[in-house]
Amino acid sequence: MKKRLAVAISVSVLVFILALWFLSSNYSEIEQLIRILIALGGTILSGVITYFLFPENERKI
């Protein structure tokens, strides 16, 4: 579970940074607060998806 959480958090941080960068560079006419809220929504969604799709018990081959 520790590894799943670490991967989910790292993916969430990466998605937040990339989403803010993309929204700031391509959609600068949108207010900063709205851009942050959009990035937070994507961050939460990607974190939840990553947490549940990342395997809990990996079998070593």
Give the mean pLDDT of 2-28. 92
Residue 59 lies in a domain: no
Residue 22, CA distances (Å) to 1, 45, 56 in order: 31, 17, 32
Question: Is the confidence at residue 1, as pLDDT, over 90?
Answer: no
Longest CA pairwise span in the chain (Å):
51
Q: What range defines the domain where residue 18 resides?
A: 2-53
Residue 58 lies in a domain: no
Confidence of residue 24 (pLDDT cuts 50, 70, 90): very high
Question: Is the confidence at residue 44, as pLDDT, over 90?
Answer: yes
More confident position, 54 or 32: 32
pLDDT of residue 33: 94
Residue 39 lies in a domain: yes
Q: Identify whether the C-beta of residue 39 lies closer than 8 Å to the C-beta of residue 14.
A: no
Q: Rounded CA gap, 27 and 19, in Å?
A: 11
Q: Tell me which residue of 24, 40, 41 sits closest to 32, measured CA to CA.
A: 24
Question: Is the confidence at residue 60, as pLDDT, over 70?
Answer: no
Residue 30 lies in a domain: yes
Domain count, the chain: 1
